[in-house]
Chains A and B, each alone.
Chain A
Amino acid sequence: MAEAVATRELTYVGAIAEAAHTVLAEQDTAFVAGEDVAGAGGVFGSYRGLLDAYGEERVIDTPISEEGIVGLAVGAAATGLRPIIDIMFMDFMGECMDEIANQMAKMRYMFGGSASLPITIVTMSGGGMNMAAQHSQSLEAWICHLPGLKVVAPATPHDAKGLIIAASRDDNPVFVVLNKLSLRNTGEVPEDSYEVPIGKARTVREGSDLTIVTYSRMVHEATTAAEALAEEGIDSEVIDLRSLQPMDTEAMVASVQKTHRAIVVHEAVRFGGLGGEIASQIQELAFDYLDAPVARIGAPFSPVPFAANLEQAWLPNAPKIVAAAKELLGSE
Chain B
Amino acid sequence: MQPDDDTLRDIHRRMVRIRVFETEAGKLAEAGRIPGALHLYVGQEAVAAGIMAHLSADDWITSTHRGHGHLIAKGGAFDRMFAELFGRATGYCRGKGGSMHISNMELGMLGANGIVGAGPPIAVGAAFTAKYRKTDRVAVTFFGDGASNEGSFHEAANMAALYKLPALFVCENNGYGEYTAQANHQAIVDVADRAAGYGMPGVIVDGMDAVAVYEAAGAALERARAGEGPTLLECKTYRFFDHVGVRGMGLSYRTDAELEEWQKRDPIHMFEERLAELGVLSQEQAAEVHDGIMAEVQAGIEFAEQSPVPDVATLLDDVYA
Residues of A within 8 A of B (CB): 35-36, 39-40, 43, 61-68, 91-92, 94-95, 129-135, 300-303, 305-310, 313-314
**B267 in the interface (beta carbon within 8 A):** no
Nearest CB on A from B101, distance (A):
6
Contact check: which of A65, A133, A310 meets B312 at CB < 8 Å?
A310
Report how far A306 CA is from B83 CA in the complex, Å: 12
Complex Cα spacing A68 to B149, Å: 9
Which of these, B146, B150, B178, B310, contacts A310 with CB under 8 Å? B310
* Pick from B37, B180, B315: contact of A61, CB under 8 Å: B180
Please report which residues of chain B, range 61-110, place their CB below 8 angstroms from some CB of chain A when the two chains form the complex.
87-88, 93, 95-101
Most chain B CB atoms below 10 A, which of A302, A306, A309: A306
B319 adjacent to A132 (CB under 8 Å): no
A307 to B113, CA, bound (A): 17
Judge if B197 is at the interface, Cβ distance under 8 Å.
Answer: no
Residue of B nearest to A56 (CB): B184
Contact A307:B117 (CB < 8 A) given known A39-B179, A63-B185: no
B88 to chain A, nearest CB (A): 7
Greatest chain A CB density within 10 A among B101, B146, B179 is at B179
Interface size on B, residues (CB 8 A): 40
In whole Å, how far is A86's beta carbon from the nearest beta carbon of chain B?
Answer: 13
Q: Does B156 contact A (CB under 8 A)?
A: no
A52–B307 Cα distance when bound, in Å, is 49
- Chain B residues contacting A301 (CB-CB under 8 Å) are 316, 319
B114–A134 touching, CB < 8 Å? yes
Quick one: which of B93, B180, B312 has the most chain A CB within 10 A?
B180
With A130-B35, A310-B312 known as contacts, the answer to whether A39 contacts B98 (CB < 8 A) is no
Cα A309 to Cα B87 in complex, Å, equals 9
Tell me which residues across on chain B come within 8 A of A314, comparing CB atoms: 315
The reply to whether A35 and B178 contact each other, CB–CB distance below 8 Å, is: yes
Taking a contact as CB atoms under 8 Å apart, the answer to whether B146 and A40 are in contact is: no
User: Counting CB contacts under 8 A, is B36 at the interface?
Assistant: yes
A39 & B95 in contact (Cβ 8 Å cutoff): no
Asked if B282 is an interface residue, CB under 8 A from chain A, the answer is no
Q: Does B115 contact A (CB under 8 A)?
A: yes
- The answer to whether B117 touches A95, judged by C-beta atoms less than 8 angstroms apart, is yes
For residue B179, which residues in chain A have a CB less than 8 angstroms away from its CB? Answer: 36, 39-40, 43
What B residues does A40 contact at CB under 8 A?
A: 178-180, 252-253
- Tell me whether A134 and B115 are in contact (CB under 8 A): yes
Residue B285 interfacial (CB < 8 Å): no
In the complex the two chains form, what is the Cα distance from A205 to B115 in whole Å? Answer: 39
Q: In whole angstroms, how far apart are the Cα atoms of A271 and B316 in the complex?
A: 14
**What is the CB-to-nearest-CB distance from A66 to chain B, in angstroms, rounded to a whole number?**
8
Distance between Cα atoms of A300 and B114 in the complex (Å):
22
Q: How far is the CB of A67 from chain B (nearest CB, A)?
A: 5
Asked whether A65 lies within 8 Å of B149 as measured between CB atoms, the reply is yes
Q: Among B35, B100, B185, which residue has its beta carbon within 8 angstroms of that of A134? A: B100
Is B309's beta carbon under 8 Å from chain A? yes
Contacting pair B180 A132 (CB below 8 A): no
* Distance to closest chain A CB from B155 (angstroms): 11
Measured CA separation A62–B101 after assembly (Å) = 25
List 29 A–B pairs whose Cβ atoms lie within 8 Å, in order of A's numbering.
A36-B179, A39-B184, A39-B253, A40-B178, A43-B178, A64-B116, A64-B147, A64-B177, A67-B151, A91-B114, A92-B115, A94-B115, A130-B35, A130-B37, A131-B100, A132-B114, A134-B100, A134-B114, A134-B115, A300-B316, A302-B315, A305-B96, A307-B87, A307-B88, A309-B310, A310-B95, A310-B310, A310-B315, A313-B315
Structural contact, B315 and A63, CB atoms closer than 8 A: no
Closest chain B CB from A187 CB (angstroms): 27
Partner of A135, one of B114, B184, B185, B252: B114
Tell me the complex Cα distance, A65–B151, Å: 7
Asked whether any CB of chain A lies closer than 8 Å to the CB of B152, the reply is yes
**Supplied contacts A94-B115, A306-B101, 17 more A-B pairs, CB within 8 Å:** A40-B178, A61-B185, A63-B186, A64-B147, A65-B151, A68-B149, A95-B150, A132-B114, A133-B97, A135-B114, A301-B319, A306-B98, A307-B88, A307-B310, A308-B35, A310-B87, A313-B315
